[in-house]
Structure 1
């Protein structure tokens, strides 16, 4: 696939790099598939540029900003050559290498889109790359041996918007454009719920990947939250600290569950007859909630060798069971509310009846 066609880019290549997300893409209405698929490819290419640790953070930043300019329509063949030479050559994964070598035809496909789709793809890639830029500016070189933490929850909240919440905006715009008269609720409310669905999924990713991220110097758990439990980012490198850090996990899980509830309402605001769109929203919600359930049960959630990841068989079970029930608001609510209730009950069981989000007083304070 030396110079892939549009069909090859948005077919075999997209499938090879998107893995489970391709299942969601595959059920989308026809008009949405190409812009959503191409946005995913471009975002994945940007992510690869930002994450290639064999290249210095400064050089990655330069290449990332150059790539963003290319997506925005600023022609520069030398920039694509530099990405191929400096980033593609470092890839062990052959699919990632092929993706980076296919940027020129991918950008050509983007230029062929209708203006609304083209601008929406450019906007989402710009925001996602701002999130990647945030990572490169905020955190140290992966090999420095240092760890830097976000300071406040507001920073984490903004980060989850830049790398996932903005996808809710893009997804909603694409739905309105290609499947008119879908959402039954007011547009502003729908957009807010779409943003919150994206944030829920990214919050889940942050908690699931915490152990791995710590080892490359990135602590997305806010330092102010850790400090309330006399914890510092460096402490979290020990998997044995998982239980001690559990209150921070639970507090962030509670915030994620609130976002998931908004995501469920987002899904149910789609009329029941739009089965494909409902499934595309419901699948990541169900997989996300199952992942959160595993996290809450995981006594070593900070251990990168004990990642809370649902099994492939469970993914297939979710796909199979959801199809016959997705058109029923009642059944979808029952399923998702049962999952949320199980998570909340488990947190209460593990932490008791006291408020798990308020640090316990020391002996001195209680006197």
Structure 2
């Protein structure tokens, strides 16, 4: 049953909806926009809107101008205000205030357009089918809990402090909040909208989807270790560093890379294990669901290729090392994926070759 727009929020006509889910989304989502566009049509709206709301929250939480030397409380307050609007009911006046503050504090035209469309985004949320609306609310709320964890765990940038997550459980919880939950959301939304998934056992598939998301986020964590250290954040667990005779500050010196290697290798192996689950998830999507398969395949291949480059770089603590997959590689991967997506054996071989590249580097 469709939900009508709540009192005070304007309805969204087709032109503004298309502007929101095409122009605005493309402006702030970069490569992920291609993944959203390849999705089956009935999945694009909930997935695209969830991304836009999460991206809005992330922009608020990451606004450097609001940080203090002690505690980024202003950012947290703004984030919690947006979260309250997501959980509902939304208030037009509050949304307009968030939008105005966002447009005043953002650096890019694309982000300004995103905040300018905030009321439309919430109007679209309120007009969704009940299940889609609740799924979007849940995943965005969960993602903001991960952003809250960042703001309350780590020091303000520029403070000169460096804080590490305490344990592996803390890191595992963090990557669930900022990425694993997306795999769960993706599973539930896909199962609700894609008739070819009617035979899925959603509960175990959701668990597999969680691991898919964790694989992608751990890849980002491992790639960004040097950069994160220099803004006061160490996601590698403090107890594991201590077992290697290290404290987080030691990782600022690339000369300590060999001493840190056991910790980094452990998390690369954990990441590869999560990618095994991602492969299982991908191959569970029927071959006839081509668009959904491609939307799973592209981020998986990109993640594995990035992890392989991190592993091969051999400079895991060097701050001036940039590890990224070239745009040419991405476009070539997309072209090759079209014929490969129909064949489980081709996909397995492709994924295996990337896994071997990672293993060769570690």
TM-score scaled by length of structure 2: 0.92
Find the partner of 1:219 among 211, 225, 234: 234
The answer for the alignment partner of 2:3 in structure 1 is none
The answer to whether the 8 Å contact 1:211/1:237 transfers is: yes
- For 2:335 and 2:299, the matched residues in 1 are separated by 14
SS in 1 for 2:323: coil
- For 1:294 and 1:206, the matched residues in 2 are separated by 14
Which runs of structure 2 are paired with 1:243-282 in the superposition (5 Å)?
Answer: 243-282=258-297
Segments of 5+ residues of structure 1 without an aligned counterpart are: 348-367
Query: By how many angstroms is 1:257 displaced?
Result: 0.4
- For 2:196 and 2:61, the matched residues in 1 are separated by 38
The answer to whether the 8 Å contact 2:171/2:235 transfers is: yes
Which runs of structure 2 are paired with 1:6-155 in the superposition (5 Å)?
Answer: 6-56=17-67, 57-155=72-170
SS in 2 for 1:45: helix
Query: By how many angstroms is 1:183 displaced?
Result: 6.5
Aligned pair count?
A: 345
The answer to whether the 8 Å contact 2:191/2:200 transfers is: no
TM-score scaled by length of structure 1: 0.90
Find the partner of 1:170 among 185, 191, 194: 185
- For 1:242 and 1:20, the matched residues in 2 are separated by 31
- Mean Cα displacement is larger for which, 233-242 or 114-123? 233-242
Segments of 5+ residues of structure 2 without an aligned counterpart are: 1-11
Query: By how many angstroms is 1:340 displaced?
Result: 1.0
- For 2:159 and 2:237, the matched residues in 1 are separated by 20
Query: By how many angstroms is 1:47 displaced?
Result: 0.2
- For 2:326 and 2:264, the matched residues in 1 are separated by 22
The answer to whether the 8 Å contact 1:184/1:269 transfers is: no
The answer to whether the 8 Å contact 2:187/2:202 transfers is: no
Query: By how many angstroms is 1:181 displaced?
Result: 3.4
- For 1:309 and 1:264, the matched residues in 2 are separated by 22
Query: By how many angstroms is 1:211 displaced?
Result: 1.5
SS in 1 for 2:196: coil
* CA 1:267–1:184: 2 relative to 1, 3 Å: farther
The answer to whether the 8 Å contact 2:314/2:361 transfers is: no
The answer for the alignment partner of 1:157 in structure 2 is 172
- For 1:10 and 1:260, the matched residues in 2 are separated by 29
The answer to whether the 8 Å contact 1:50/1:136 transfers is: yes
Query: By how many angstroms is 1:268 displaced?
Result: 0.3
- For 1:158 and 1:183, the matched residues in 2 are separated by 30
- Mean Cα displacement is larger for which, 22-31 or 332-341? 332-341
The answer to whether the 8 Å contact 1:301/1:307 transfers is: no
The answer for the alignment partner of 2:6 in structure 1 is none
Find the partner of 1:334 among 332, 340, 349: 349
Query: By how many angstroms is 1:102 displaced?
Result: 1.6
Post-superposition CA distance 1:286-329 (Å, at most 9, x none): 11111111111113222332121111111111111111011111
The answer to whether the 8 Å contact 1:88/1:96 transfers is: yes
